[in-house]
Amino acid sequence: MQDLLGKHIVLGLTGGIACYKSAELCRLFVKAGATVQVVMTEAATQFMTPVTMQALSGRPVYVSQWDVREDNNMPHINLSREADAIVLAPCSADFIARLAEGRSDELLSLMCLARPIEQVPLLIAPAMNREMWAHPATQRNLQQVAADGATMLGVGSGWQACGETGDGRMLEPAQLLEDITAFFHAKLLVGQQVLVTAGPTFEALDPIRGITNHSSGKMGFAIARAAREAGAEVTLIAGPVHLPTPRGVRRIDVLSALEMLEAAEREAARASVFVATAAVADWRPASHSDQKIKKDGSGLPPVLNFVENPDILATVARSPRAASGALFCVGFAAESENLAAHAKAKRERKGIPLLVGNIGPLTFGQDDNSLLLVDADGVRELPRAPKLQLARELIAEIAARLPTRTSA
């Protein structure tokens, strides 16, 4: 998806070994539809050549404030006025100190100082050794730079090029892309606590086997990501799926419907929005064998009995908080036919204000889908699109239906 289409990003590189990741970040920006103008400090050119960054961005790189290519010889003004954002990745400890002091003795810091603060956001991806990161001077400078209006993108933790292990690594390019994409989204859900269930459940028969279904969890994970992009605090209760946790989302892994119910009831107590996308198994084995169920030699299969699982969505929707309007509940319906009729009936049966219908076989495992929104006013279709785009549209629909808040 071209999440950054129409955005112009000035990508600033300062001196650090993490410059090797900036090449990939530049490529991801371009793939996401952005135009990228690279500006490097002299120190950064020790780690990465301007030639590489020019090839990846498709534009000549700027290194010096005395660059004669600009008619007015003011690259610091021209470059900063064109940008939708300036992203410093990697941003070294020294460069953070320069920003804190408002220094402007080379092009990149000069450009940051000359940017119109209200129109051109400055996003910072620090990268340094763990001791440098933890040093009070660095932490003090970071606080100052944030207080002066910059957005901190955080650091990763782990093995560092110096051989030590700890905090201070630059975030991975894909993580930075996710955070920067989120930065540009309208903050429709600030102050909201969004709870999402996603994926299938697994109902164990014995230690080896169980019953489950083909739900991939993709829609629920996309909704969790979109809610986070919109500024909500997000908790994602996930059945067994193979998906990475969206950035900034708190994830709780569960297996069975009973575990999912327990987690959902507990977390719903402090949520303001509940979106149930999980494909919860309707039944679970009536009994669970502690040992593997063996063939008994008779040639007859074992007799398996099932009991119905609790309806997690309906249970949460019956809670006093949901009834009072403090918790807005959204359900999903996977149907095989008569989508509108089944979805309308299901919305009423579950007692929820909004139900999202889709055709099961057309969505399971797919990256795109189409949705039917059913509320008290009627039915509206969100046409086929990537799940993340649909998730963002759904988040906007949910935000528009939330009661106006008097306090955040």
- Where do contacts with ligand CTP occur on this chain (CB under 6 A)? 197, 257, 276-278, 280, 282, 309, 311-313, 331-334
Closer Cβ to ligand CTP, 151 or 213, answer by number: 213
Closest CA to 93 of 168, 22, 33: 168
Closest CB 400 distance from ligand CTP, rounded Å = 20
Closer Cβ to ligand CTP, 223 or 333, answer by number: 333
Closer Cβ to ligand CTP, 61 or 316, answer by number: 316
Helix 107-114 vs helix 75-82: angle between axes, to the nearest 10 degrees?
60
Pairwise CA distance, residues 192 & 335, whole Å: 30
Pairwise CA distance, residues 249 & 126, whole Å: 21
91 is catalytic: no
Categorise residue 79: left if φ over 0, alpha if ψ from -120 to 50, beta otherwise.
Answer: alpha
Closest CB 279 distance from ligand CTP, rounded Å = 6
Closer Cβ to ligand CTP, 64 or 336, answer by number: 336
Across 175-323, the runs of DSSP E, i.e. the strands, are 193-198, 203-204, 210-211, 233-238, 250-253, 273-276, 283-285, 306-308
Closest CB 24 distance from ligand CTP, rounded Å = 37
Catalytic residue among 26, 91, 162, 329: 162
Question: Which amino acid, one-letter code, is at 219?
Answer: M
Sign of CA dihedral 393, 397, 400, 405: negative
Pairwise CA distance, residues 249 & 265, whole Å: 18
Closest CB 352 distance from ligand CTP, rounded Å = 8
Closest CB 367 distance from ligand CTP, rounded Å = 20
Closer Cβ to ligand CTP, 133 or 332, answer by number: 332
Q: Which residues are known catalytic residues?
A: 162
